[in-house]
Amino acid sequence: MKTLTVALPGREYDILIERGLLSQAGERVRAVLPKARKLAVVTDTNVGPLYYNRVKAGLEAAGFETAVFVIPAGEQSKNPGQLARLWEDFMEFGLTRTDGVVALGGGVVGDLAGFAAAAILRGVAFVQLPTTLLAQVDSSVGGKVAVDLDHGKNLAGAFHQPRLVLMDPDTLDTLPLPVFMAGMAEVVKYGCIWDGDFFDFLAARPSREQLTADIEHILYTCCDIKRQVVMEDELDTGLRMILNFGHTLGHAYELAGRYEQWSHGQAVAAGMCAAARLGVSLGVTPPEVPAQIERACAALGLPTRISCSQEDYAAAIGLDKKGAGADITLILLDKMGRAVPRKMPRQELLNRLEAIP
């Protein structure tokens, strides 16, 4: 088993990575929640039929009373109405301050269940059991939990660290190929912003079969990078901003597709490519970097360009949480493997976006 510790004072937790780990969920969760009696398990209509019974058996064998709350699969479930329904369901179940919430699923489930846990009874413990590649390398670690509003994604949320993250790479075997490859966008991001050698490692393995053969190393490397960043900047006011490479523009592409045409990973892939080209135009990014990222994304079946109107760019940039007043902090690369923040007026960014190829 591979183990990483997110050493935040008073909020420490482990990330465990091992094939077959879902079957150990009961004993692992009991070790971190010794006083809990009840666990509310939140999952979705895709993941629940695949894994809930296995997780339930382990949790009940460890002495937990469980109830499952199933949401419709998809981003549309990450909304305030669904959040309020979960709160009422938790109260109906009889959840108390010493009990907990388990998120079994991808990023939508983790974000929604985590935010529900952060606010119910002014905060109860929660555990992440991520089942998608994107959730395993990104959203399950770091404590960002949120729901979407009509104005945009993740605009209502909190920082609420999990007590434990259990990653079972076997769950990735059931992912459709497009979903697996969409998760690879976040994996490639870590190479771009932190570790050029890791980027080269990924670029040499463009097929799912090659990536799966090294998946535990990939998960460990991504989580280790994110762990280091989160420990230095838990609340996303400094270093943690680099994790948003490709996201400012990616959110515009998601908006352009009305959150239906492009998945988050596809939008981030195109956003990284566009940010690299923008970095070249600003004299920050070496000219060879955009082609490197584009080749890596294209080999994974990810888009390198997505059409976007100035109106959608403006809407997404106006809501970007890295903004302050009239300015926004854009994450660029000054070389492959190193990200740097670049503060600029929002209007200047919009003007430059219109001019980049």
Could you report how far apart the first and last alpha carbons of the chain are, in Å?
Answer: 45
pLDDT at site 355: 84
pLDDT at site 281: 95
Residue 82 CA to residue 192 CA, distance in Å, equals 35
pLDDT at site 323: 60
pLDDT digits (tens, 9 = 90+) for 45-58: 999 999 999 999 99
pLDDT at 182 over 70: yes
pLDDT at 165 over 90: yes
User: What is the average pLDDT score of the chain?
Assistant: 96
> Is beta strand 65-71 parallel, antiparallel or unpaired with respect to 144-149?
unpaired
pLDDT at site 157: 97
- Residue 254 CB partners (closer than 8 Å, separation 6+): 153, 262, 264, 267, 316
Q: Do domains 2-174 and 177-355 have the same CATH topology?
A: no
Model-wide pTM > 0.75: yes
The domain limits of the chain are 2-174, 177-355
Amino acid at 273: C
- Residue 159 CB partners (closer than 8 Å, separation 6+): 143, 144, 145, 234, 235, 236
pLDDT at site 293: 98
Residues 28/1, Cβ–Cβ less than 8 Å: no
Comparing 237-251, 257-271, 315-329, the range with the smallest average pLDDT is 315-329
* DSSP per-residue letters across 141-170: SS-EEEEEETTEEEEEEEE---SEEEE-GG
**19: exposed, middle or buried (C-beta count within 10 Å: 0-12, 13-18, 19+)?**
middle
Considering the segment(s) 177-355 as one domain, its CATH architecture is Up-down Bundle (1.20)
* Mean pLDDT value across residues 91-100: 98
pLDDT at site 153: 86
Residue 345 CA to residue 350 CA, distance in Å, equals 9
pLDDT at site 318: 80
CATH class of the domain at 2-174:
alpha beta
pLDDT at site 112: 98
